[in-house]
């Protein structure tokens, strides 16, 4: 799937759509999900590189391994900043329509703030 530069996350990165940012650095931006599935529901996305980003985990290559590791590390730092470490939290990467992926820009969900149910 080709990257759509007009997807909602690309627009958030360009500040065309407002977001409640809780973290950002040179590589990632994190913000509150507009339809939270838990008391804390944060989405972490990579910034665009040359106007694009991987569309999903299925689109990742070996060359993305470092970025994905840093994405997970950023998410764990954000979870700690949000006070989620003691009670626990969930990190979720969806890949494709059947998994519930609605925006085709790689993103990681941080969910916490209450006991979460089983995944399946």
Domain that holds residue 48: 8-112
Model confidence over 73-112: pLDDT tens digits?
999 999 999 999 999 999 999 999 999 999 999 999 999 9
Residue holding tokens 């972490």? 44
Q: Which of 41, 104, 105, 107 is catalytic?
A: 107
Whole-structure pTM value: 0.95
| Residue 60 structure tokens | 């990742």
Query: Is there a domain that residue 34 lies in?
Result: yes
Q: What is the DSSP code (8-state) at residue 114?
A: S
Query: Is there a domain that residue 69 lies in?
Result: yes
Query: Is there a domain that residue 83 lies in?
Result: yes
Query: Is there a domain that residue 19 lies in?
Result: yes
Nearest to 32 by CA among 113, 118, 117, 109: 109
In angstroms, the CA 37 to CA 47 distance is 24
Query: Is there a domain that residue 118 lies in?
Result: no
120 pLDDT more than 70:
no
The CATH number given to whatever domain includes residue 61 is 3.30.428.10
Cα Rg of the chain, angstroms: 14
Partners of residue 40 on adjacent β-strands: 112
Using pLDDT thresholds of 50, 70 and 90, give the confidence band for residue 1. Answer: confident
When divided into structural domains, the chain yields a total of 1
Q: Does the annotation count 107 as an active-site position?
A: yes
Nearest to 28 by CA among 38, 50, 13, 18: 13
Query: Is there a domain that residue 60 lies in?
Result: yes
Query: Is there a domain that residue 2 lies in?
Result: no
DSSP annotation string for 27-91: SEEEEE-SS-SSSEEEEEEEPPBTTB--SSGGG--GGGHHHHHHHHHHHHHHHHHTT-TTT-EEE
């Amino acid at each position: 799937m080709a990257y759509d530069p007009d997807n909602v996350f690309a627009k958030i990165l360009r500040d065309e759509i407002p977001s409640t940012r809780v973290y950002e650095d040179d590589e990632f931006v994190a913000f509150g999900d507009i339809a939270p599935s838990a008391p804390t529901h944060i989405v972490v996305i990579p910034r665009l590189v040359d106007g694009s980003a991987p569309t999903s985990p299925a689109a990742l290559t070996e060359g993305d391994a470092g970025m994905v590791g840093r994405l997970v590390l950023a998410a764990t730092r954000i979870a700690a900043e949000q006070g989620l470490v003691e009670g626990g939290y969930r990190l979720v990467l969806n890949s494709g329509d059947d998994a519930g992926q609605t925006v085709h820009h790689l993103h990681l969900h941080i969910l916490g703030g209450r006991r979460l149910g089983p995944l399946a």
